[in-house]
Amino acid sequence: MIEAFARERAARHDPPDGLVARIMDDARRLQRSPAPVEPLWRQILRALGGWPAAAGLAATAGIGLWIGVEVPAAMLEAGDNQIVLIESDLGSFDHLLLDG
Amino acid sequence: MSQSQNDPATDAALLRAYAKGDARAAQSLAEAFTPLVYAHACRMLNDRAEAEDIAQEAMLRLWRAASGWDANGAATIRTWLYRVTANLCIDRLRKARPSEMPPDFDVADPAAGPEQRLQERTRRSALQAALMRLPERQRQAVVLRHIDGLGNSEIARIMDIGPRAVESLTARGKRSLSKLLSVHHSELGYEDETQRD
Domain ranges within chain A, ordered by starting residue: 1-49
Size of chain B in residues: 197
User: Least CB-CB distance to A13: which of B31, B38, B146?
Assistant: B38
Under an 8 A CB cutoff, do A4 and B193 touch? yes
Supply the pLDDT for residue A93. 55
- Taking the alpha carbons at both ends of chain B, their separation in whole angstroms is 22
CB contact under 8 A, B177 and A20: no
Residue A86 above 80 pLDDT?
Answer: no
- Note the helical H segments in chain B: 8-19, 23-45, 48-65, 77-95, 114-132, 136-142, 152-159, 163-182, 193-196
Alpha-carbon span B15 to A36, nearest angstrom: 20
Beta strand A95-98 with A82-85 is: antiparallel
At B121, the pLDDT band (50, 70, 90 cuts) reads confident
CB of A16 within 8 Å of a chain B CB? The answer is yes
Question: What is the least distance, in Å, from the CA of A12 to any CA of chain B?
Answer: 7
- Do B88 and B142 meet the contact criterion of CB atoms below 8 Å apart? no
pLDDT higher than 80, residue B191: no
Q: What is the pLDDT of residue A100?
A: 44
At A37-66, the pLDDT tens digits run 677 888 888 888 888 888 888 888 888 888
CATH architecture of B105-197: Orthogonal Bundle (1.10)
pLDDT at B62 exceeding the cut of 90: yes
Provide the residue ranges of all domains of chain B, joining segments of one domain with +.
1-99, 105-197
Give the residue among B65, B135, B181, B109 at the shortest CA–CA distance from A5: B181
Residue B138: C-alpha distances to residues B55, B98, B184 (Å): 21, 16, 21
Domain B1-99 classification at class level: mainly alpha
Which has the higher per-residue pLDDT, A10 or B130?
Answer: B130
Pairwise CB contact (< 8 Å): A1 & B196:
yes
Three-state DSSP state, A52: helix
What residues does A95 pair with on adjacent strands?
A85
Q: Do B63 and A12 touch (CB under 8 A)?
A: no
Please give the average per-residue pLDDT across A17-41, as a whole number. Answer: 84
- Buried b / exposed e along A20-39 (16+ C-beta atoms within 10 A): bebbbebbeebbeeeeeeee
Cα B138 to chain centroid distance, Å, stands at 13
Q: In whole angstroms, what is the distance from residue B18 CA to residue B66 CA?
A: 7
Give the separation between CA B13 and CA B159, rounded to whole angstroms: 25
